[in-house]
Amino acid sequence: MKYYSTNNRHRKVSLREAVIQGLAPDNGLYMPEYIPVLPEFFINALADLTLGQIGFEVAVRFLDDDVPEDELRKIIAHTIQFDAPLVAIEKNVYCQELFHGPTLAFKDFGARFLSGLLGYFAQQENKTITILVATSGDTGSAVANAFLNVPGTRVVVLYPAGKVSEVQEKQFTTLGKNITALEVMGTFDDCQRLVKAAFMDADLKQVFFLTSANSINIARLIPQSFYYFYAYAHLAKTRRPLVVSVPSGNFGNLTAGLIAKRMGLPIAKFVAATNVNAVVPEFLKSGVFLPRISKQTISNAMDVGNPSNFVRMLDLYNQEAKAFSNDVAGYSFTDAETKGAMKSVFEKSQYVLDPHGAVGYLGLKTFLQAHPEYSGVFLETAHSAKFMEVVEEAIHTKPELPERLNKFLAGKKTSIPVSAKFEELKSLLPSLLA
């Protein structure tokens, strides 16, 4: 399997190159040269397979040329040490809980997979790999914890000052060792821009072996497809068409779902559910993509005004907006609507949504109102306790704080403030990574 840049389909590299580079030299994102289709008997047998078995069968289609089978099984075992259960919320409405990993967010799947893969490649390269990662919340904590003490790697997390929750911040600013946190005076889009600029800078690339752990890295998307197969396996027996609502910011999660669909998974429809940073729902209605500066909301991990993975989604549909909109519906919601959903679901079912899952729930309910023949799943991407103040304000009840979050909160924050200017980052990195 080779991988091409979204800016040049003719430039193809190995998985190893795509993962280590993160971003293509032409500033494009890597995509597999084709999407492998899984055999029908595998789809029919999903209900009898564990999440780990599903993960291996999906991943081997993308990695078999670059990673030995025994090593891949180790990576899958390292990645999947927790469940992704489905919970019935209402009739034909299910929540898939993706927060049972070490940092209580769905990004543990992609970060742990990537840490295993890059750890293997670092051994092969006999070099120290530096991972630059921009975060609007959960990515930083998932990546930092996944790579903590992984030989041959070091991590620099860039995050927007004052725009992540205290729990999220403590999960990557208290670790030390091979993890460094940079507190950027700007937005997530600024952090993402800085990371991309670093990858494109010839001076930095000459000195450091740089890669990314954001969803711009193709290795993040492969494991995120696993749980879509797992969700379908548990709901195929309903014999109703399935719609999956994905709370979306940088759109890596939805891209992974669309890849799973292209591999043969019979998900009939996806919903791109966003907060007021609604550039993709607007595109799905108008066919015009208008990126902008992101607005701060209570669902902060989705505060993205120029989602990187938009180009990947369009690439899957050969730049055809109509084909894209046939598979994906898009809706956006305000903070007031998000809080209202959290309150309503808690009162009806005693289920505690986090603000991102609440946006996914609203997207699903909006779709089902017009299409009651479907069964629906929305993704609950983070534990509600990571957003304690927002949740308590919405439902007037404090969510239970898991012990592992308590441990993070007790740690001492260590971060380095930087401006949103690339020149400052470029001059700082050599001293950080010496």
> Which residues form the catalytic set?
107
Contact 240, 374 (CB under 8 A): yes
For residue 106, is it left (φ>0), alpha (ψ between -120 and 50) or beta? alpha
Q: Is 373 exposed, middle or buried (CB count within 10 Å of its CB: 0-12, 13-18, 19+)? A: exposed
Contact 390, 299 (CB under 8 A): no
Contact 379, 98 (CB under 8 A): yes
Q: CA-CA distance, 143 to 115, in Å (whole number)?
A: 8
Contact 254, 261 (CB under 8 A): no
Q: In what order do the strands lie in the sheet with 93-97?
A: 86-90, 93-97, 375-380, 242-247, 269-274, 328-332
Q: CA-CA distance, 36 to 39, in Å (whole number)?
A: 10
What is the identity of the amino acid at 77?
Answer: A
Phi, psi at 112, each rounded to 5°: -70, -40
CA distances from 199 to 116, 348, 422, 425 (A): 22, 48, 11, 12
Q: CA-CA distance, 256 to 69, in Å (whole number)?
A: 22
Can you spell out the DSSP letters for 282-294? HHHHHS-------
Residues with Cβ within 8 Å of 46's Cβ and at least 6 positions away in sequence, in order, are 54, 229, 230, 232, 233, 236
Q: Which one, of 178, 244, 176, 259, lies nearest residue 213 by Cα?
A: 178
Report the SS3 class of residue 133: strand
Can you spell out the DSSP letters for 151-206? TTEEEEEEEETT-S-HHHHHHHHS--TTEEEEEESS-HHHHHHHHHHHHH-HHHHH
Contact 366, 309 (CB under 8 A): no
